[in-house]
Amino acid sequence: AAPRARASADASHADVVGALPVVYRGPNGTPLLDMIASPADIKRLAPTQLRQLAMELRHETLCAVSQTGGHLGSSLGVVELTVALHYVFNAPEDPICWDVSHQVYPHKILTGRRARMSTLRQKGGLSGFAKRSESPYDPFGSGHSSTSI
């Protein structure tokens, strides 16, 4: 009976996997993110819209890094945190310090640098790190780790 149950479980798994799309294409557009030119715009959203904004921001981060390369995992790990920080605090008056500067890609997108993300880590383009000379929203020049210390 055990082999038969296993075969049945495998068949069900194959049916489910076969029904999944081969390539994730992300959200159908970025209507909320398209409305964000600065953190002040995030505050105009209802709290119920923040999850959708985070989904759109995650997709935008994936798209940017897939073009230029970069630090994807640490940026994806802070998408919701980035949305929450900018929703609650008033950057740049309230400085946001990123412990690991690899986390700043979603922050850059929300702070007016979205259109330039295709230049990330390119000569003359956006820095892969927080950079004080790049934006008033980057109050600390940070690097690989422990900036908050």
Distances from the Cα of 129 to the Cα of 46, 63, 114, angstroms: 30, 18, 15
pTM above 0.95, yes or no: no
Residue 85 or 69, more confident: 85
* pLDDT at residue 6 in the model: 47
- Cβ-Cβ contacts under 8 Å for 122 (sequence gap 6 or more): 68
The Cα–Cα gap between 138 and 136 comes to 5
* pLDDT at residue 11 in the model: 52
Residue 49's pLDDT band (cuts 50, 70, 90): very high
pLDDT above 70 as % of the chain: 78
* pLDDT at residue 33 in the model: 97
Among left, alpha and beta (phi > 0; psi -120 to 50; other), residue 67 is alpha
**Which residue type does 24 have?**
Y
Residue 125's pLDDT band (cuts 50, 70, 90): very high
Distances from the Cα of 102 to the Cα of 21, 58, 70, angstroms: 30, 14, 8
